[in-house]
Structure 1
Amino acid sequence: MTFLSDALGPKVFELPIRVYIEDTDAGGIVFHAKYLHYMERARTEWVRSHGVELRAGLEDNVSYVVQRMNLHYAAPAKLDDQLLVTAEPIASSRVWMTFRQQVLRANDRQLMCDAEVRVACVALDTGKPRRLPENMKEILEKVI
């Protein structure tokens, strides 16, 4: 996991992932839904990299759910490819945060898939929207 410093904007988080057989169809091409798993992992690791413990959030009745997602599949990733999955927060409100995400082939940084993902904060017990925790709000204010 690394952060890339972007001179024109916020830091972009990158998570390396290798494509395993379980990620592919019979032709060795990554199944379209697996990209969602990769992006979820990158967002989760972005949160962890800022010192936020997800388990503690669950104990405080905080959960995060994908509210909206816009994806573009640009090229197929294949079995054994090494990928970089990015997570970059680009907007937030009192109850949600939006990430720009990309899946790139590591060796040449060719775009495989890109997405904009809005994640809402909800109360775990009711599923209703709630304000982002103060620590998450402070992190987002620093990076957006």
Structure 2
Amino acid sequence: MNWHYPTPFVQTWQVSAEQIDHYQHANNVAYVKQLETTAWAHSNQLGLNIEIYQSLDRGMAISRHEINYLAAAHKDDKIDCATWIVECDGKLKLARQFQFIRQSDKVTLLTARTEFVCIALSTGKPRRMPAAFSDIYCPAVIKTHE
């Protein structure tokens, strides 16, 4: 694959009929859902799941999405969805980069960046990352040329 960065976390998404819009392309809502699914799968693989978030009364809430739709996906396309953690200040903020590549022709369909802020789940207000978050997320940050 022609990944923008080394050593991505990757999972495969197969576009279903329910995800197709009136233009016969994967709907943008399906892409956003896949961004979420990929980020959670990566967090789980790193050792942070929703149960840990809940036990610590902390979560990483999206503060900003930047999505570049580069080409359309169609029903039954298999897409490799990659993510990398590109920033973690160990205090409040984290950022992920994404790249989705269609398996059949190796075309990059989407690139995206999502910025997160740590919140208390009980109040929704910004709160410092617990050590469990910074100890896992910060070492996972990859070097970029941004």
What's the TM-score bracket when you normalise by the shorter of the two chains?
Answer: 0.7 to 0.9
Q: Provide the C-alpha distance between the structure 1 equivalents of 2:24 and 2:76, rounded to a whole number of angstroms.
A: 9
TM-score, scaled relative to structure 2: 0.86
Q: Paired residue for 2:105?
A: 108
The question of 1:49 aligning with 2:45 is answered yes
The question of 1:126 aligning with 2:113 is answered no
Residue 78 of structure 1 aligns with an amino acid whose one-letter code is H
**Large movers: runs of 4+ above 2 Å:** 8-11
- Following superposition, the deviation at residue 52 of structure 1 comes to 1.4
* C-alpha RMSD over aligned residues: 1.9
SS at match of 1:16: strand
Which runs of structure 2 are paired with 1:61-76 in the superposition (5 Å)? 61-76=57-72
Q: Paired residue for 2:88?
A: 92
Alpha-carbon spacing, 1:136–1:48, altered in 2? closer, same or farther (3 Å): same
Equivalent of 2:54 in 54, 58, 71: 58
Identity of aligned residues (%): 21
Q: Paired residue for 2:17?
A: 21
Alpha-carbon spacing, 1:32–1:9, altered in 2? closer, same or farther (3 Å): closer
> In the comparison of the two structures, how many residue pairs are matched?
139
Deviates more, 1:82-91 or 1:104-113: 104-113
Q: Paired residue for 2:138?
A: 141
TM-score, scaled relative to structure 1: 0.88
Q: Paired residue for 1:78?
A: 74
- Following superposition, the deviation at residue 85 of structure 1 comes to 0.9
CA contact (8 A) 2:46 2:136 kept: yes
Residue 107 of structure 1 aligns with an amino acid whose one-letter code is S
- Following superposition, the deviation at residue 27 of structure 1 comes to 3.7
- Following superposition, the deviation at residue 10 of structure 1 comes to 5.5
Deviates more, 1:69-78 or 1:19-28: 19-28
Gaps of 5+ in 2: 142-146
- Following superposition, the deviation at residue 77 of structure 1 comes to 0.5
